[in-house]
Amino acid sequence: MARLAQTAGLTDIQEEILATVRTFVDKEIIPHAQTLEHGDTYPADIVEGMKEMGLFGLTIPEEYGGLGESLLTYALVVEQIARGWMSVSGVINTHFIVAHMLKQHGTPEQKQKYLPRMAAGEVRGSFSMSEPELGSDVAAIRTKAVKGSNGYTINGQKMWLTNGGTSNLTAVLVKTDEGAEKPHQNLTTFLVEKPEGYGEVLPGLTIPGKIDKMGYKGVDTTEMVFDGFEIAADQVLGGAPGQGFRHMMDGVEVGRVNVAARACGIAIRAFELAIEYSQQRRTFGKAIVEHQAIAFKLAEMATKVEAAHLMMVNAARLKDSGQRNDVEAGMAKLIASEYCAEVTQESFRIHGGYGYSKEYEIERLMREAPFLLIGEGTSEIQKTIISRGLLRDYQSRG
């Protein structure tokens, strides 16, 4: 992409990482994405390639064997990967969130125990807040951990766990009895180590099979059932219970930038496909791009791609500078996911009947884009976060 979604002020290292990832996406992801996605096949070779490039340790500090790169670098890498195939970005996204939570909130022992192996891609992270009865309303979590003499016993059911079967470390948010008045102060994140796979993977812990989804195929999304599962007290993230909501919200905040980046990637690809197709397809004696209605669609699509990219980059830079970015991450996620759905739809229309054929990439993008309206908080939840943040800063003096 010569012109759109450029980012000013990157370091030489960032430019180099992005160029390497872009080549990898063009050679190793795009040519295989359709077949793997239609077969709902886990992209094992691509994941190995990402391990070799060090992408699993991209943001993990160098002292733990990672590359110590910023959220911005990560987001730009994700944008590139999602341009190739969103499911591949899904494999590293949950890993990245768990690594971030450990880096920010883990005890020294937890960091030492997990981060070096996470950087090498040996330990692969997933995270779980949602349950069958709740997603947006996180404070209503029912899965419960009860403290005994030898640690905790967990009972309950989790839902929509991305990489549930293919990860071996899951950060799980559950209820504990801290006697706090506010429900979210009674939530604790546990670091659940488990083998990869499905079925009863440990006594009291079952990962039923993959949920059959509309898109976002290849990457597994599962339930997680706890039935008297026992876990040591030192697996509480940060050591102290009752802090889980804060930890997860911090993770989700970087996750929102990440979802915005994915949306940018899909929108870029949808635009690339549309501008290519519109110069080849002819109707009424000329290329369809010569009909102003189509050229204007492309202009609007490109403008949306550009706006979403800039807001995503702004939100990432803000977080990297150490400032709170809840409003900006919410705005970036909101606009990037909504624009992604619109740009993808327009690209689909430009493809005419062929857009409905499974031979054309746009068909897959059409099934991927809607997930971004939901994951890491729906558009309605983003608007709630944004408006609350605005009212914090623009309080009436009247």
Ligand X SMILES: Cc1cc2nc3c(=O)[nH]c(=O)nc-3n(C[C@H](O)[C@H](O)[C@H](O)COP(=O)(O)OP(=O)(O)OC[C@H]3O[C@@H](n4cnc5c(N)ncnc54)[C@H](O)[C@@H]3O)c2cc1C
Residue numbers of the site for ligand X (CB under 6 A)?
A: 94, 127-130, 134-137, 160-162, 213, 216, 221, 371, 374-375, 377-378, 380-381
User: Any idea what DSSP says for residue 236?
Assistant: B
Q: How far is the CB of 168 from ligand X (least distance, A)?
A: 15
Residue number, nearest CB to ligand X: 135
Q: Among residues 176 and 222, whose Cβ is nearest to ligand X?
A: 222
For tokens 């929108």, what's the residue? 267
| CA distances (Å), origin 206, targets 61, 98, 237, 298 | 33, 21, 22, 48
**Distance between alpha carbon 292 and the CA centroid of its chain, in Å?**
37
| CA distances (Å), origin 236, targets 20, 29, 135, 187 | 37, 37, 22, 11
Q: How far is the CB of 278 from ligand X (least distance, A)?
A: 31
Instruction: Identify which of 275, 272, 259 has the alpha carbon closest to the alpha carbon of residue 381.
Output: 259
**109, 50 in Cβ contact below 8 A?**
no
At 36, list the tokens. 């793997």
Q: How far is the CB of 25 from ligand X (least distance, A)?
A: 22
Does residue 359 carry a catalytic annotation?
A: no
Instruction: Identify which of 300, 309, 342 has the alpha carbon closest to the alpha carbon of residue 4.
Output: 309
At 270, list the tokens. 């949808």
At 394, list the tokens. 């623009």
Q: How far is the CB of 137 from ligand X (least distance, A)?
A: 6
Residues paired with residue 128 on neighbouring β-strands, in sequence order? 172
Q: Among residues 163 and 278, whose Cβ is nearest to ligand X?
A: 163
From the list 37, 306, 363, 376, the catalytic residue is 376
**323, 309 in Cβ contact below 8 A?**
no
Nearby residues of 108 by Cβ (< 8 Å), 6 or more positions away: none
Q: How far is the CB of 274 from ligand X (least distance, A)?
A: 25
Query: What crossing angle do the helices spanning 244-280 and 326-350 adopt, rounded to 10°?
Result: 30
Instruction: Give, for 23, the enclosing helix (H) or strand (E).
Output: helix 12-24
Q: Among residues 241 and 375, whose Cβ is nearest to ligand X?
A: 375
Q: How far is the CB of 198 from ligand X (least distance, A)?
A: 16
Catalytic residue numbers, as ranges: 376
